[in-house]
Amino acid sequence: MKGESYFENILVPVDGSHQCLHAEELAVTVAKKFRSKVTVVHVVPHAFLHPRELHPMPEAVAKEITGWFLQHGKKVVGEAEMLFRAEGIEVNAELIEYANPAETIIQKTEGGKCDLVVIGNRGESEAETFSLGSVADKVSRHAECPVLIVKEKTKIFKVLVGIDGSENAEKALEHAVELAEKHKAKVTLLNVQESKIFGLKPEVARKIGESILSGATAKVRGAKFITQLEFGNPAETMIEVAEKGSYDIIVVGSRGLSSVKRFFLGSVSDDISHHAKCSVLIVR
């Protein structure tokens, strides 16, 4: 385990939406626990800086619209920077013009440039085409580092981690334990078996699930944890368990051992990130 440097560099895309503010608050919590450096970034998309590409308009109007979005971006970045500085966190602020938000964020994760992206689930409304909500999905799928998609809760007291025996699930467990240790949170190791795969022998699925959980418990150090074995659809079951148990965050690997083995978590991490009511950390 890396200890305090586990999330040494955190990237926080900002857009001024309520969901983004939730993301900033949770990023503050994580950064303080891990003594992280934070980079806040706001990207003004192509169409905002060149609105005539979408709708022909007089030059003066185009300049006014462009100026407004640039001023808004400066305000959003400035407020986010002040928030982190007020919490004693080392922060760098960037305003990037005329770029694609998703591609820009993904590029900033390449080559080990950051250890974690903390991003809001969506913007002020689903109709906001260029809010973070339209790019969070792309970032979660293509970023080279773990991505924390923040929903509503900004504290971490209960952590649910998906265990399926894959290498990515092991990495997810490492991150879950680190978060739990720093936040003094409780951890539940959950394995979901699709018993129908094993025909009329559910005892086989149970033995496999118990074996996977047993192997995972040997790797947990310094955090209070319990194990849980469930049967059903992995994504739906994890979401249901998280909601019933009032978990603050679900931690899952980005993919399992292979795409054809449907009982591994890799095939369902997208569903969990989209439909879970709590925050989701996708680890790769």
- Beta strand 147-150 with 225-231: parallel, antiparallel or unpaired? unpaired
CB 21 within 8 A of CB 124: no
Q: What is the pLDDT of residues 233-246, one digit of tens each?
A: 899 999 999 999 99
Which residue spans within 211-258 are E strands per DSSP? Answer: 225-231, 249-253
pLDDT given at position 258:
40
* Tokens found for residue 195: 């018993």
| Residue 53 clears pLDDT 80, i.e. is over it | no
pLDDT at residue 181 greater than cutoff 90: yes
Q: What is the pLDDT of residues 186-235, one digit of tens each?
A: 999 999 998 676 665 778 888 999 999 999 998 888 789 999 999 988 99
Is residue 112 very low, low, confident or very high in pLDDT (cuts 50, 70, 90)? confident
Q: How many CB atoms lie within 10 A of CB 69?
A: 17
Which residue, 152, 154, 150, 187, is CA-closest to 172?
A: 187
Q: What is the pLDDT of residue 260?
A: 41
Q: Which long-range contacts (CB under 8 A, 24 or more apart) does 126-129 make?
A: 128/17
Domains, in order of start, for the chain: 3-150 (3.40.50.620), 158-283 (3.40.50.620)
How far CA 34 is from CA of 77, 86, 114, 282, in Å, comes to 22, 17, 14, 18
- CB-based burial label for 141 (10 Å; 0-12, 13-18, 19+): middle
pLDDT digits (tens, 9 = 90+) for 9-50: 999 999 988 889 999 999 999 999 999 999 999 998 765 545
Which residues, at least 6 apart from 18, have a Cβ–Cβ distance to it below 8 Å?
A: 124
- The 3-state DSSP class for residue 267 equals helix
Q: Is the pLDDT of residue 257 over 50?
A: no
